[in-house]
Amino acid sequence: MKSYFNFFLLALLINLMGIAHAQTNEQMVKKFLERFPQADADGDGKLSSTEQDAINKRVLKRYPKADTNGDGKLSAQERQAFFRKAMARKKNKPNPENSKSRSGKPTPDHANVKYGPHERNVFDLWLAKSDQPTPLAIYIHGGGFKSGSKEKLKQQSLTDLLAKGISVASISYRLLPEVTLPTPHHDARRALQFIRHKSGDWNIDKKRVGVFGGSAGAQISMWIAYSDEMANPDSEDPVERESTRVTCVATAGGQTTMDYDIWAKQMRAILGKKYSLEKVLGQGKSQKAKGTDQLLLWGAKTPEELKAKIKKHSALSIISKDDPPIFMSYGMAPNAEPPSETGKLRGWLIHHSFFGIELKKKADSLNVENHLRYRGAKCDYASTAEFFKDKLASASKPK
């Protein structure tokens, strides 16, 4: 399901594009580019007609009904009508960040705590009852970096962790297309450091912290766990002086690399000749067009810069022998038959267990503790909660 936030964001983008196209207000164009820097493909600080047309085409592809007269273009009237519709939905639909309905979850001890200036820089915190400082598990939601929020934390996961004496935080972070990658990663890092900075107020043992999440949240979790220390001891900001290292990490359906070449090789082997990988992934574009999309996604100027950014944020590339233990879970066995429905096949592929198998090989070669769970596999742990209990709640403070 597409998030409401993205729907409104794109509507706002369309409205601003109309202003930019008419060139009636240079200040508005400047503000637009500050908020959507990826729209400026050539980095000249302006919106060319080619860049404007490219964005309009993306919007039309995602929301074809915006083109009410069916001429394949967005007129000024169509842009305004779509914007008004989005504004009406904004008034009528509750904001998930402030919603009191949490699907039966316990009420957070601290709700919508701000860790940064953006409206999505917030988290909820549930504290385990204890006279002694408790360990902490931080949940990072998935959604392809384009959707999702802290509300995606499942009730069962929350209650299981709290019952094991582990406090839980669930964070939101900024999303595409308002920002480029790796902004979501940096937001999560900031949230971790912020909570550590406030740990004394919340009876949290900041030396016993684990991170977990699914899909995009799994990617961010592994990036935090496998990156070297990112604290800045010389910073004037006390939050930035806090450690970014964690005790353990758990993932569900996580992509252990962002390198599309590795994706393509593994996925083609799984699909065989029965399916076209490009059609399954919805990437029926030229190689040049796909490369441009990746550059925009990562805010990179050159293919070399893009490659370096992808490598720096892929678990397979950055894991080292001093990294913490990981528990990985996937919904299918390596040799499972692909779903026959094309709509399900894409999600099945991009969350496939081959990602975990490749990381396990690398971790084993480095003697990094790892546990991989999928259907039919032997694993020491049945769930993230069990893994965290062993690594956080049952263990003494890490050395």
> What's the DSSP call for residue 298?
H
Rg of the chain in Å (alpha carbons): 22
Assess whether 181 and 323 both reside in one domain: yes
Q: Is 147 helix (H, G, I), strand (E, B) or coil?
A: coil
Tens place of pLDDT for every residue, the chain, 399 residues?
A: 444 444 444 444 544 444 444 444 566 566 566 656 666 666 676 777 777 777 777 777 667 767 777 777 777 666 666 655 554 444 434 344 444 444 689 999 999 999 999 999 999 999 999 999 999 999 999 999 999 999 999 999 999 999 999 999 999 999 999 999 999 999 999 999 999 999 999 999 999 999 999 999 999 999 999 999 999 999 999 999 999 999 999 999 999 999 988 998 999 899 887 777 777 776 555 455 555 788 999 999 999 999 999 999 999 999 999 999 999 999 999 999 999 887 799 999 999 999 999 999 999 999 999 999 999 999 999 999 999 999 999 865 444
Q: What is the CATH number of the domain that holds 118?
A: 3.40.50.1820
- Summarised one tens digit per residue, pLDDT across range 132-191 is 999 999 999 999 999 999 999 999 999 999 999 999 999 999 999 999 999 999 999 999
Q: Say if residue 288 is in the same domain as residue 214.
A: yes
Q: What does the chain come to in residues?
A: 399
The whole-number pLDDT of residue 12 equals 47
Last residue of a domain, one of 72, 92, 112: 92
Does one domain contain both 243 and 326?
yes
What rounded mean pLDDT belongs to the chain?
Answer: 84
| Structural domains counted in the chain | 2
Helix ranges (H only) for the chain are 4-22, 26-35, 49-62, 76-92, 155-163, 183-197, 216-226, 260-271, 277-280, 287-298, 303-312, 315-318, 342-350, 354-366, 384-388
Q: In the prediction, which pLDDT does 399 show?
A: 40
Instruction: Give the pLDDT score at 316.
Output: 98
Q: Are 189 and 197 in contact (CB under 8 A)?
A: no
Of 67, 92, 117, the one marking the end of a domain is: 92
Of 92, 122, 154, which residue constitutes the final position of a domain? Answer: 92
Question: Do residues 108 and 83 both lie within one domain?
Answer: no
Q: Can you give the pLDDT at residue 85?
A: 57
210 lies in the same domain as 356: yes
Task: Compute φ and ψ for 170, nearest 5 degrees.
Answer: -130, 120
State how far the Cα of 67 lies from the Cα of 79, in Å rounded to an integer: 9
What b/e string do you get for 196-206 counting C-beta neighbours within 10 Å, with b at 16 or more? Answer: bbbbeebebbb
**Which range marks the domain in which residue 205 is found?**
99-399
For residue 383 the two structure tokens come to 């769930």
Residues 55 and 152 in one domain: no
Who contacts 274 (Cβ-Cβ below 8 Å, separation ≥6)? 338
Domain match, 49 and 191 both? no
Q: In this predicted structure, what is the pLDDT of residue 309? A: 97
Q: 340-396, pLDDT tens digit by residue?
A: 887 799 999 999 999 999 999 999 999 999 999 999 999 999 999 999 999 999 865
Distance (Å, whole) CA 179 – CA 257: 21
Residues 78 and 208 in one domain: no
pTM for the structure as a whole: 0.76
